[in-house]
Chains A and B, each alone.
Chain A
Amino acid sequence: MKDEKLFSEKLFHHTIPVRDGLWDRIEAQLPPKKKRTAFPVFWFTLFATTLLSGTLMIGMLNNRIADTAITPPHQALLKPTTQSDLVLAQIETAAQEGTMANNLSQVTESDSPASDKNHNIIPNSSTKTNKIKHSNLYSNPLSPAAKGSDEVVLNNNSTVENNLYSSRAEKQSVNSSNLFSPASFLPMADINLNDKESLLLSITFVKPDPNCYKFGGVGSDYALSADIFVGPGFSPKTYEENGGEPGYADARKETENIQYAWAAGARLNLHHRSGLTARLGITYTEAGDLFDYTDSLATQSTTRIDSFFTADGTFLYAESSQVLILGTLIKKIHNTYRYLDIPLLVGYEMPIGRSLVMVNVGPVINLTSSHEGQILDPLFHPRSITNGEPGAIDVYKTSLGLSIYLGAGLVIPIADHFSGIVEPSFLYRLKPVTLGSYPLNEHRHYAGLNLGIRYHFN
């Protein structure tokens, strides 16, 4: 129509006088003061803080356990370069050759000058006590617990009182204070090796120190490792109006209940000796909601066709009528949201005891996302969001762009080449997951706990 603009010009700002009394009707319906729904920053922060605190506590506990446990270094990966390493290497050799006691006395006396006169090697099996006393066979120089000792019941027939101490601990004891005086806590090494297998077991099944195999090669500044992880999470979402009806956001909140979330992934890590680490990987995240919709005034319309025939079967005419059925429509549909992301992270790892504490941060690029289920459309009708389904409403982006990843956790040595990973993480998606043209911006983030395994390459 040629004069279509005239309609807009004349009617867009057109006003009609309002009769008196209308305000009173409105005022009577005004809702009571409404509490604003706070953005769940508080819950995010609480969640992250709790996880981080838990991680640090585990780290500290792990540190104590590691310092007091019988944990000589991992022989397969660590070449004996220090005095204490040499001592242990010779212990193992001696044990295998059955000449433990003699060699030990020689080694101890020759390699530990600070304790030479205070060590009494008593190759005597007459004393039966059930105890092996270890004092820091291999201790961490950073650890104050290096001055302690433990008692471990090993075998009724074997009595080994072993007060070997590492060269690092020895240096501390000599340089710092009397607390570390070898004479005070390492007076003797009393070894009676009746059960060689027991000692070998205690040497073989040890927790490897991650520092041992992180930079195993001499002169190498880099090491490689690979992680695989999986873990539960929480995928909170928030809404903000984008030109739609204001009540739409509330209706969405009321009809969609967060049920579960989890993530799994793998990544390759390049470690530098300084502790800095670069990580590249792939992460799959899945979140589930329950769409819970009830329409108590639902109607179902069906068409009824009545055909009329004469007695001889000749068709006369047909009548059609609409039948309206009133009822309650209840929908409970499990919605699924899937995301595939590529994290490009920078991390820093710091040893605490025999474990590592790591902090990771960096961008995450979303490769693709998909959605299944139903939500309320802007007209408050349930509509499908499943990609490719007939009648599905186009709500969500298929690629979400950049997100920010923040994680902090522990790397706990488990076995040769393997460590366990515990990493609380948070993924903040910078942009809404909904299309720009959609009348509601939906933000969906992810907070989770990654539990996994790290393989350390030689």
Chain B
Amino acid sequence: MHEQELIRRCGVNDRVAQRLLYDRFAPLLLAICRRYAGQQHAEDVMQDSFVRVFQYLAQYRNEGSFEGWIRRVCVNTCIRHLEKAKRLTVDYYGDGMPDMAVAPNVISQMNANELLTLIDKIPDGYKTVFNLSVIEGYQHKEIALLLGIEESSSRSQLTKARKYIQRSLEATYKVEL
């Protein structure tokens, strides 16, 4: 079924179409939720994301890619979930950490699951900014608006997330430059 037809039918509560849409995008959304909310809450947040997708599908105006739209819905749901769970509070962990570099080949040799595990270790506040900025490609201005923080806070949290990853890699792989 063509994507536009699928979307149209989902908009009128066609269960078959909704199931097809779910089958098509569920693995992607689950991975996104896994990155933001962690293994424990990923399925719950994904479920909430799909409910929102179907609820507001009528507002999708066929502008831009549908995957981009559904991804944004999912990301926003993740952020709301973290907000509700008060997990966006940032602990200023690691002040004074040295700014160490990591050997380039370390990350390139890691697979997606290993990277997810690495990201999982980052505190939620830093992790959200890291996910939004590095993986989703959001600008700091957008992140600030999305999280209700200052733009400068977004930048500093990203810096701290990077440092955290560096320290984790260094501890795990004994990499030191």
Q: Which residues of A contact B (CB under 8 A)?
A: 1-4, 6-8, 10-19, 22-23, 25-27, 29-34, 36, 240-241, 243-247, 249, 377-381, 383, 393, 437-439
Contacts and interface: CB of A to CB of B under 8 A. Distances in A.
A34 B46 contact: no
B161 to A, nearest CB: 9
A6 B146 contact: no
B43 A3 contact: no
Interface residues of B, number: 58
Contacts of A3: 102, 104, 106-108
B145 A13 contact: no
Given A7-B107, A13-B28, A22-B46, A1 B51 contact: no
A14 B119 CA distance: 14
Contacts of A246: 52, 55-56, 59, 73
Contact of A1 (B15, B34, B80, B162): B162
A20 to B, nearest CB: 11
Contact of B145 (A10, A30, A437): A437
A88 B54 CA distance: 79
Contacts of B47: 22, 25-26, 29
Interface in B49-102: 50-52, 54-56, 58-59, 61, 72-73, 76-77, 79-80, 83, 101-102
Contacts of A1: 102, 162, 165-166
Interface in B118-138: 119, 134-137
Contacts, number: 132
Interface in B9-42: 12-13, 15, 18-19, 22, 26-28, 30-31, 34-35, 42
Contacts of B80: 245, 379-380
A13 B67 CA distance: 11
A372 B111 CA distance: 51
B112 A22 contact: no
Q: In the complex, which of the residues A18, A30, A438 has the most CB atoms of chain B within 10 Å of its own CB atom?
A: A18
Given A2-B101, A241-B61, A246-B56, 18 more contacts: A2-B102, A6-B108, A10-B115, A11-B31, A11-B115, A16-B31, A27-B18, A27-B19, A241-B56, A243-B72, A244-B72, A245-B76, A247-B52, A379-B79, A379-B146, A381-B148, A393-B145, A439-B145
B115 A379 contact: no
Contacts of A438: 145
B6 interface: no
A169 B112 CA distance: 95
Nearest to B83: A379
B50 A26 contact: yes
A11 B131 CA distance: 10
B142 interface: yes
A27 B13 CA distance: 11
